[in-house]
Amino acid sequence: MALLSVTLDLDGTLLDTVPDLAAACHAMLAELGQPPRSDDEVRNFVGKGMAVLVERCLTWEAPPAPGLVQAGIAAFRRHYAETNGRTAQPYPGVFAGLDALAAQGLKLGVVTNKPEAFTLPLLERQGLAGYFAAVVSGDTLAQKKPDPAPVRHACELLGCRPEENVHVGDSSNDFIAARGAGCLTIGVPYGYNEGRPVTASPVDVASCHALVSDLHEAARVVAAWNGEIRTGASIVSLASSPS
């Protein structure tokens, strides 16, 4: 067995999308006459998909009425269609890392909780779409991460078994989904993780097979793992420390 594919999370792993998400949240809340949220609050609300992001923005002392959440989702969709990709930035090491993974002959995929209508245009706008042979979005299946189904589905689309895939992400949603699917897991420390720094969470650290500082380092780890697999050594020895 060798590692044949790598799936990657989008928000907080490939791209910092919070400024665009926050702009859409600000416009949605203003339109509904609701109190504003800061960009930091929005950052902490990202992770479980659009509907949860909107619901968290609208939750104060009590859960919001379902009708308000539905109106919020409709307004968010309209505003995010305007702001999506406007100021999103790839994290350092993303293009070098993807180039290095592709140069190893690995097939690449995206597994995100972002709805498909926003995922594909964002990847195009950022010059990332050409890297990926499979894109699984938050509404591709009925299940989202941390359910393992989207990661498994991406493996199927890439023609690999889960144990031949490495999933790279910034949050426990990724680590739980990848582990549940039976993939190796690499964590990056610079993303969102719903407000809990990955490196400050022993559970998250323990659930990654390796924690790296960026995707370029992730590519080096995957290459080393494939070397270890070829010689029959244990992969556990390869966890590296983030800067």
Ligand X SMILES: O=C(O)COP(=O)(O)O
Q: Rule CB under 6 A: is residue 155 a binding residue for ligand X?
A: no
* Residue 181 CB, nearest approach to ligand X (Å): 14
Q: What is the pairing mode between strands 165-169 and 5-8?
A: parallel
Q: Report how many residues bind ligand X under the rule CB under 6 A.
A: 14
Structure-derived torsion over alpha carbons of residues 203, 227, 181, 5, reported in degrees to the nearest 10: 120
Give the number of C-alpha atoms closer than 13 A to the C-alpha of residue 24, restricted to the C-beta side.
27
Task: Give exposure, 7-30, as e/b (b: 16+ Cβ within 10 Å).
Answer: bbbbbbbbbbbbbbbbbbbbbbbe
Using rule CB under 6 A, residue 107 touches ligand X? no
**Cβ atoms within 10 Å, residue 103:** 10
Residue 166, class by beta-carbon neighbours within 10 Å (0-12 exposed, 13-18 middle, 19+ buried)? buried
In the complex with ligand X, which residue's Cβ is closer, 5 or 173? 173
183 binds ligand X (CB under 6 A): no
Task: Name the minimum Å distance from CB 45 to ligand X.
Answer: 8
The answer to whether 204 is annotated as binding is no
Q: Whole-number minimum distance, CB 151 to ligand X, in Å?
A: 11
Rounded-to-integer distance, Cα 160 and Cα 146, Å:
20
Tell me how far, at minimum, the Cβ of 15 lies from ligand X, in Å: 8
To the question of whether residue 99 is assigned a binding role by annotation, the answer is no
Rule CB under 6 A: is residue 20 a binding residue for ligand X?
no
Is 112 a binding residue for ligand X by CB under 6 A? The answer is: yes
Report, in Å, the least distance between residue 144 CB and ligand X.
Answer: 8
Residue 113 touches ligand X, criterion: CB under 6 A:
yes
DSSP class of 234: -
Choices 7-15, 74-82, 98-106, 213-221 (CB under 6 A): range interacting with ligand X: 7-15
**Strand 134-136 with 165-169, pairing:** unpaired
How many whole angstroms separate alpha carbon 59 and alpha carbon 179? Answer: 31
Known catalytic residue at 9: yes
Question: Which H helix or E strand runs over 168?
Answer: strand 165-169
x/- contact string, 40-59, with ligand X (CB under 6 A)? ------xxxx---x------
Nearer to ligand X (CB atom), residue 25 or residue 238: 25
State which H helix or E strand residue 207 sits in: helix 202-207
Answer yes or no: is 39 a known binding residue.
Answer: no
Q: Which of 9, 174, 204, 214 is catalytic?
A: 9
Question: Per the annotation, where are the binding residues for Mg(2+)?
Answer: 9, 11, 170
Active site residues: 9
Contacts with ligand X, residue ranges (CB under 6 A) = 9-12, 46-49, 53, 112-114, 138, 145
Question: Per the annotation, where are the binding residues?
Answer: 9, 11, 170
